[in-house]
Amino acid sequence: MSRLRRFIVHLQPRGPGSAPHRAFILLPALTVLILAVLWITILMRLRVEKEAVLHDARVAARTVASALDTHTLKTIHDVDTIALVVKYGIENSPDTFDLKKYQAYGLITADTALQVTIAGPDGHVIASTIPFSGSIDLSDRKHFRVHRERADVGLFLSEPLIGRISRQWSIQATRRINRPDGSFGGVVIVSENPAWLTDGFYTSAALGEHGMIAVLSGRGFMLSRRAGDAPSRTGDTLPTGYIDPRHSDETFADPIDHVERIVASREVNRYGLTVMAGLSLAETLDDYYRMRRVYVTMASVISAILVGLSTWIAALIQKLLKGREQLHRLAHTDRLTGLSNRGYIMDLLEEAVAAPDAAGRVAVIFVDLDRFKELNDTFGHHLGDTILAEVGRRLKEVAPDRAQVGRLGGDEFLVVIGDDAASAAVVAGAITAALEVPVSVHGNAYRVCASLGIAVLQPGERAADLVKAADLVMYDAKERGRAHRAPAGKKALVA
């Protein structure tokens, strides 16, 4: 039995569509591979592009922060220069010092200074570059008290406040005035417009439409902050965690306007300040997002084309497979019975006979229907074809795994068995039993008789010899059957 199955498997061709079948399986795999490579390449490229854009933005933010640091230092230096000029003028000539003359001679020059004020040791304003009336007392101001209490403060920068003379937001940059004996003689106050720190620096070309710059005090308040086209803000208390070194050169969600920015900061340690510059993350990535849309659209179009082309090719291959399979069936199958045709069953037999141990194991059963021509002549070929198809089905049914069944032509069939003669005899008995059941056609029962010839392959025999031997045995059986039936005059195939 196992040898028979091995020989049957050996006889089965690989099929006309084996190569196209492999192509049919390989095509979607190749398509998926190409799509995977395409999308991985696109995504990696986009990742590299995004990292490059973010890196450039960080560099730009650091550059702006550095420039703002320089701008802030220069502004404070200009203010301090004015304060020092006035301080030394009073200290050197306390009786003849005239603030108006200093202003008229151009000794007090600053583009951003709102005013210069001198407060006496009791805190009352002695002189100012802005006219004032009445008694103005500054003794309660922190920027006055700090100099009265300590002589070593140097330049002091106040938090933004409303000036009592100018009535505007200002930062008070102050210097202590010393009397000849070193005692406290008052304070020089230079009022600075805090907005100048940011308004005089902000440019859309460098920061974009939603950028941000800020000068912050280490004491927890905001000297000046500007974001986009909005007016500069000053004097606000900073939100908790607004100044955080961890945010430097990183993405930072601004708690004031909730804009996500790439922020760089610099410490101005000399004056206890921090300058910050931020670039809007969305604005920074705007060009990247446009490029990403182009890349994704391009990859999507290519993917759609590739999938469509793959589907079209797969449809062609499937159509080709169906055509080849149909052609294979036509070339190897008897159209009436669905069995192997004469050429194919002989090919199978020749392969079986060619096996090294075929002698004594390969057998054939030659099946010939008795007096079938009379049936065709009497009842017509249509009935004969129906009976042939039913006979073929029964032959295949009795030996589905143990044999190969083919139609040689007309009413002749051949059963190829890869077992010994005893097995062939069992198959022949099964065939005889199967044909004893009448064939029902259109309500009429027809009894089919057949003559069988069995031959076992002998050493040195070929396939044609084996079939010829089985044919001779079949004719002997047919003659014996005729002699036995002659006196009765019965037909072998009757309705």
Question: Is residue 411 annotated as a catalytic residue, yes or no?
Answer: yes
For residue 214 the two structure tokens come to 């800020």
The single residue listed with the structure tokens 């492999």 is 22
Q: Give, as one character, the DSSP assignment of residue 385.
A: H
C-alpha neighbours within 13 Å on the C-beta side of residue 370: 26
Cβ pair 454, 424 in contact under 8 A: yes
Q: CA 147 to CA 126: how far, in whole Å?
A: 17
Report yes or no: 283 and 67 within 8 Å, Cβ to Cβ.
Answer: no
Q: Of 102, 97, 125, whose CA–CA distance to 113 is shortest? A: 102
Phi-psi region at 273: left, alpha or beta (left = phi > 0; alpha = psi -120 to 50)? beta
Judge contact between 277 and 211, C-beta under 8 A: yes
CA dihedral 477, 398, 363, 482 (to 10 degrees): 10
Q: How many Cα neighbours within 13 Å face the side chain of 399?
A: 32
What's the Cα-to-Cα distance from 290 to each of 54, 281, 282, 295, 484, rounded to whole Å? 15, 14, 12, 9, 97
Tabulate helix, strand, coil % of the chain (nearest 5): 50, 20, 30
Indicate which residue of 80, 254, 334, 411 is catalytic.
411
Pairing of strands 450-456, 363-369: antiparallel
Report the catalytic residues: 411
